[in-house]
Amino acid sequence: MCGRFAQIYDDSALKQEFQLEDIRENITNRFNISPGMEVNTIIGVSDKNSFVKQHWGINSIHGRELDNLVFNTRSDTFIKDRFGKHFHKTRCIIPVSGFFEWNNKQPYFVKSLKNDILSLAGVFILDRRTNEYSCSVMTVNSIGQLSNIHERMPLILSGYDKIKWLNNSRSDVSDLENICLKRIDTTELDIFRVTDRVNSLLHDSPQCIEKLNENSLL
DNA sequence: CCAGACGTTGTT
DNA sequence: GTCTGG
DNA sequence: CCAGACGTTGTT
DNA sequence: GTCTGG
């Protein structure tokens, strides 16, 4: 699962990664982002990608209140069920520097060894009354090293899959199904313990993603 | 045409 | 809102 | 995801 | 325990 992450990058890195023309909004480094907060996302609109700030977690669909804040969505049922149909043309990417997972009350940070930005697959809802966007991060069963920490992990997109995921105007269902079943090679990931201070959202500093050494674990 | 339905995760 | 079922 | 709170009535 | 807020 994925219930906390960090977004630490500047405009130019995002523009390059997603071929964005312009980012009008301000981007600030955030080291401890939780459901309910505002997050940076990318939405594909007819061959062009746009930067959009969204609320993380969907709490209503078309004026209908949901019982819970839906901040994760299972990728394996995305295509099949009704919920999936709602989001068939509303996919997005949540670019993160890494995400947190807890095991035994202990927080770990997960980031890429290769890139500064990990592309998490997401779906969104646009509330046309308020013009506000809300999104949910897709999840899959975790594998490799990550499965030692947590049963589920976010769906991480790589290569051309990012483009396919963002292309909401030309969706190939079998393409999407394949992407939903793919899982990242976890040897590409760096996974390490971080300070318990990250538990509290009051702590939003570089310390949140610092590797904890063995000695300090005592 | 209208009526009715419409959602996820982790934990124990 | 949008899709399904009748 | 974790942290933190968790209650009602009548009266002025 | 369970809900809310961030």
What was the pLDDT predicted at A218? 46
Model pTM score = 0.88
Q: Kindly report which amino acid residue has its CA closest to the C1' atom of nucleotide D4.
A: A200
Q: What ipTM does this complex have?
A: 0.75
CA atom of A128 to C1′ atom of C1, Å: 9
Average pLDDT over residues A36-62: 86
Residue nearest to nucleotide C1 (CA to C1'): A62
Quote the pLDDT of residue A123. Answer: 86
Buried b (16+ CB within 10 A) or exposed e, A68-93: ebbbbbbbeebeeeebbeebeeebbb
Residue A76's nearest nucleotide, by CA–C1', is B8
